[in-house]
Chains A and B, each alone.
Chain A
Amino acid sequence: MFEAKIDAIVLRECIESITAVVDEGKLRIAEDGLKLRAVDPANVAMISFELKRDAFDDFHFEKGSDAEAANESPAATEVGIDFNKLQGILGIGGSDEVNLKLDEQAQKLFTRMGSLAYTVSLLDPASLRKEPKVPELEFPVQVIIKTDEFRRTIRAAEKIGDHIMLGVDGDEFYMEVEGDMDKLRLGLRKEQLIHLTPGTLHSLYSLDYVAAMSKGMSHADNITLNLGKDYPLQVDFEVADGKGKVSYLLAPRIESE
């Protein structure tokens, strides 16, 4: 049994952070909150999403009595959700609060926003991609930057090229994109950033993905970029006033001849 009440803006922010990478996924509902880990269909990006129960105004979860008693892991249930669809509905909700109620038997999620009731059919978890493993990565460099600054650069970069280079050169963090004709570079010194591990490295990423991700992080004040040389990019940020955490992982493009 799962029943919860949450601020509509908070829920929208969460869903938007998910749809930046995947349209659908297996949402894990447990006593301590919601979790999701999913890889995009092209196997290029991954999202890890976590929302604590205290992000909700109301949160009730009980594992159904018919569940295996011997289950050692904390009781949880997994539901397949089309986040894209949910996001569309939330957009027209116009209410302050959203009520959620899960009917596992019927495989439906009932959402109510004020007088608008919406029944979402759940996706068969078996039809969804397997949850990816937890990556074990070590990033030599970490940069914390104001989200607005990052997003503004990405918006400009999109007009110029397809790939973006993120790198650190000594005390400077830079974002660079080169098109056929033009070139754009944002260089920020340590003092212009919230945090920077000095180093010398860079990786190249598909701008399509970075741009999609930048939409998903729009509500966070700051983002943490974890970087390496020809290495995935991990972007961490908070949602729901710090009661939720999102990590995006994006595979690099490797320069070749």
Chain B
Amino acid sequence: MGVNIAELVEPKETSLEAISGKIVAIDAYNTLYQFLSIIRQPDGTPLQDSTGRVTSHLSGLIYRTTNLMENGIRPVFVFDGKPSELKAEVIKARSERRAEARRKWEEAKVLYPEEAFKYAQASARIDATIVEDSKTLLTYLGIPCVQAKAEGEAQAAYMVQKGDAELVSSQDYDCLLFGAPIMVRNLSATRRKAKPDVVSFNELAEKYRITRGELVDIAILIGTDFNPGIKGIGVKRALKLIKKHHSIERLLAESEIEAIENYELVRDIFLHPDVNESYEIVWGTLDEKKVKEFLCEVHDFSEERVSKVLEKIEPQKTLCSQQKSIEQWL
């Protein structure tokens, strides 16, 4: 998913401690999707409550997101809005892939269980209930939720540009195309599995001497969520072409490529994304009672485990205060 420019970027390993104190705009769908695909039982069955409702995402939010907070990181979740029409193809393809994966998973559970988890992961999908549940839990945890107009990553990148957040957290590199100056990956992964790493757009731009516009054109050539790209052109070739000609228009003029559909529209999506400019980041306070009610009573989480994580993120008992000067009153 997302644009495949992994070959170009050189992520630098970091740690939660290093990001401590920073406000991180998290691509909510990206993160929830990870939770839903990874947090599963060995046979691929997602976590469920006693009435059969999926709770993998809630588990991820309560245990992994609180881990960020415990490390002093201040997450803001940015939820996708209405997807661009250009994404319809990708969405359709994904949904077909999911359906196929779901069918294979059912089959695998019986025939070759060792494959089941893989197919189950691929069948993970986010529905309205999952989004609603996630927002409810985040609100009870005191974590702000921001609604994007379209792409969550674009909104997150915009928030960093505005200075309201310091990093975009996402697993894929689209946020760089959307203008995120710096992004972090693997924030919600367990420490054992993957260490968080950061990618700075400036470093990337300096390394290849390309602009954001050029990077977007490279992405369009190889294919994005909004266009299929040109068959046979990979990252290296695309980089070479753009470095030489600087834009898709010139590539067309020089007949390096024959045609590319909608490239101007796609470019516009990345360079001038439709964002919610009047967003508000509202820091709430942890409502322990409501978190427990929601997770333990409604969704059958272990009260003991939930209490334990909540303890860790409880606001410091000692008051944070600042000494004033007496001069103010003289």
User: Taking beta carbons and an 8 Å cutoff, which residues of A are in contact with B?
Assistant: 39, 43-46, 132-135, 137, 161-163, 165, 178-180, 204, 206, 231-232, 249-257
Q: Is the CB of B328 within 8 A of A256?
A: no
Interface size of B by Cβ–Cβ distance < 8 Å?
15
B321 at the interface (CB under 8 A from A): yes
| B328 vs chain A, min Cβ distance (A) | 7
Is the contact region of chain A dominated by helix, strand, or loop, or is it mixed? loop
Nearest to B320 among chain A residues (CB) is: A256
Identify A251's interface contact among B317, B320, B329, CB under 8 A. Answer: B329
Contacts of A134 in B (CB 8 A): 330
Residues of B within 8 A of A180 (CB): 317-318
Q: Are A250 and B322 interface neighbours, CB within 8 A?
A: no
**Chain A residues within an 8 Å CB radius of B330:** 39, 46, 132-135
From known contacts A252-B324, A253-B324, infer whether A137 and B329 are also in contact, taking CB-CB under 8 Å. yes
Q: Say whether B327 faces chain A, with CB atoms less than 8 Å apart.
A: yes
B317 contacts A163, C-beta separation under 8 Å? no
A50 to B: closest C-beta gap in Å: 18
Contact call B324/A251, Cβ cutoff below 8 A: yes
Contact B326 A46 (CB under 8 A): yes
B323 touches A44 (CB 8 A): yes
Is B326 touching A251 in the complex (CB atoms < 8 A)? yes
* Chain B stretch 289-330: residues in CB contact (< 8 A) with chain A: 317-330
- Contact present for A253 and B323 (CB under 8 Å): yes
Q: List 22 A-B contacts (CB under 8 A).
A: A39-B327, A43-B326, A44-B326, A45-B326, A46-B330, A132-B326, A132-B330, A135-B329, A135-B330, A163-B319, A178-B317, A179-B318, A204-B319, A249-B326, A251-B323, A251-B324, A251-B325, A251-B326, A253-B324, A254-B322, A254-B324, A256-B320
Alpha-carbon distance between A163 and B324 when the two chains are bound, in angstroms: 13
B326 A232 Cβ-Cβ under 8 A: yes
Known: A178-B317, A180-B317. A253 touches B322 (CB 8 A): yes
Measured CA separation A253–B319 after assembly (Å)? 10
Complex Cα gap A161–B319 (Å): 10
CA distance A46 to B326 in the complex (A): 7
Q: Is the CB of A255 within 8 A of B329?
A: no
What 10 A-B pairs come out closest when comparing CB atoms? A253-B321, A251-B326, A43-B325, A251-B324, A255-B321, A133-B330, A135-B330, A253-B323, A132-B330, A255-B319
Closest chain-B Cβ to A207's Cβ sits at a distance in Å of: 12
Q: Which residues of B contact A39 (CB under 8 A)?
A: 326-327, 330
CA distance A83 to B128 in the complex (A): 73
B325 touches A44 (CB 8 A): yes
Extra pairs beyond A43-B325, A44-B325, A231-B329 (19, CB < 8 Å) = A39-B326, A46-B326, A132-B326, A135-B330, A163-B318, A178-B319, A180-B318, A204-B321, A232-B326, A232-B329, A251-B326, A252-B324, A253-B319, A253-B322, A253-B323, A254-B321, A254-B324, A255-B320, A256-B322
B327 in complex: contacting residue of A43, A137, A231, A257, CB < 8 Å: A43
